[in-house]
Copies of this chain bind each other. A is one copy, B any other.
Amino acid sequence: MTAYTATVTVRLKHGVLDPEAETTQKALKRLGFELGDLRSADRFEIDLEAADSDEAAERAGEMADRLLANPTIHDYDVAVTERE
């Protein structure tokens, strides 16, 4: 078995209202910053052991499907790196 870190990034689907991002964007503008759109995302870095990186990615995807992401409003992507 090899030690991996699977990074799951969970975003709201396009078109789904993002009040946190809107509030953050307005606050930054009030502070005088110039910016366009702002999108927020949650990121989970998961240390796990797996036979190979595909298995690590698959397991992280199952974790996202079961708990980390709500399929109705979220999209997610998984990136896997080997841990020293």
Contact = CB atoms under 8 A, between A and B. Distances in A.
Nearest to A50: B34
A66 B24 CA distance: 11
Contacts of A27: 67
Could you say how many copies of this chain the assembly holds? 2
Nearest to A47: B36
A2 to B, nearest CB: 13
A67 to B, nearest CB: 6
A28 B45 CA distance: 13
A74 B42 CA distance: 15
B9 A63 contact: no
A62 to B, nearest CB: 7
B28 A38 contact: no
